[in-house]
Amino acid sequence: EAQVTQNPRYLITVTGKKLTVTCSQNMNHEYMSWYRQDPGLGLRQIYYSMNVEVTDKGDVPEGYKVSRKEKRNFPLILESPSPNQTSLYFCASSIITSGGGSTDTQYFGPGTRLTVL
Amino acid sequence: DAKTTQPTSMDCAEGRAANLPCNHSTISGNEYVYWYRQIHSQGPQYIIHGLKNNETNEMASLIITEDRKSSTLILPHATLRDTAVYYCIVHHKSPNAGKSTFGDGTTLTVKP
């Protein structure tokens, strides 16, 4: 089954304790992206990757790191989490269209609910 | 980068058509309009997309104005399960191809 998986699904941690949220897709997609969603708001893009070893900032990258060493995986790293990073996080993947250099339909993971105390 | 504007909320009676508008007045070139929906706090789900022409699939229809500055998503026979937040977004072209801007969406409530 084609899917995007995220782990963990729920995480409660304390300020300053480094954590990693994993994201994996089995569709051989070039593009992967991380979003955060706060209550009552839409998704805001944190980082994205157009291919292996190619990453770039989205709208809210502060406090986050990513890496793309393999095509299928795109982990989100919080080196020193703070309470304002308490949020619902989504990973997504997509093909890159050959013609216009754009992403196509994005497939989203189930979300990771992170609480930083 | 093209941004989108949607009403905050809408209601629709079950069995009636739901028409969700979206303004994307700064859309340019060959940028596509995509619609997604999010039920509760699940991951957003793709609905439909289009460039210039109207599109229809098993879930919905998409009407794009001739000047491409706005579009309307139509759910022809809304059911209670269509209650969700609907997002209209523009997929950017190179060199900003990876950027993806979701607004706050429209909360559609389908009522019995």
B36, B55, B99, B104: best to mutate for the A interface, most A CBs within 10 A: B99
| Amino acid sitting at position B96 | N
Per-residue pLDDT tens over the stretch A12-62: 999 999 999 999 999 999 999 999 999 988 899 999 999 999 999 999 999
Helices (H), A18-101: none
Burial profile A74-85: b = 16 or more Cβ within 10 angstroms, e = fewer? bbbebeebeeeb
CA distances from B26 to B12, B90, B92 (A): 29, 10, 12
Report pLDDT for A102: 76
* Better pLDDT: B79 or A104: B79
Name the residue facing A45 among B34, B46, B99 (closest C-beta). B99
Asked if residue B48 has pLDDT above 60, the reply is yes
Arithmetic mean of pLDDT, A70-90 = 98
Name the residue facing B100 among A4, A40, A45 (closest C-beta). A45
B111 touches chain A (CB under 8 A): no
pLDDT band at A99 (very low <50, low <70, confident <90, very high): low
Per-residue pLDDT tens over the stretch B61-94: 999 999 999 999 999 999 999 999 999 998 877 7
Interface touch B100/A90, C-beta < 8 Å = no
Asked if residue A8 has pLDDT above 70, the reply is yes
Asked if residue B13 has pLDDT above 60, the reply is yes
Report pLDDT for B92: 75
Tokens in use for B73? 């998503």
Phi-psi category of residue B32: left, alpha or beta, with phi > 0 → left and psi -120 to 50 → alpha: beta
Report pLDDT for A30: 93
CA distance A101 to chain B (A): 5
Interface touch A58/B99, C-beta < 8 Å = yes
A34 touches chain B (CB under 8 A): no
| Pairwise CA distance, residues B47 & B60, whole Å | 7
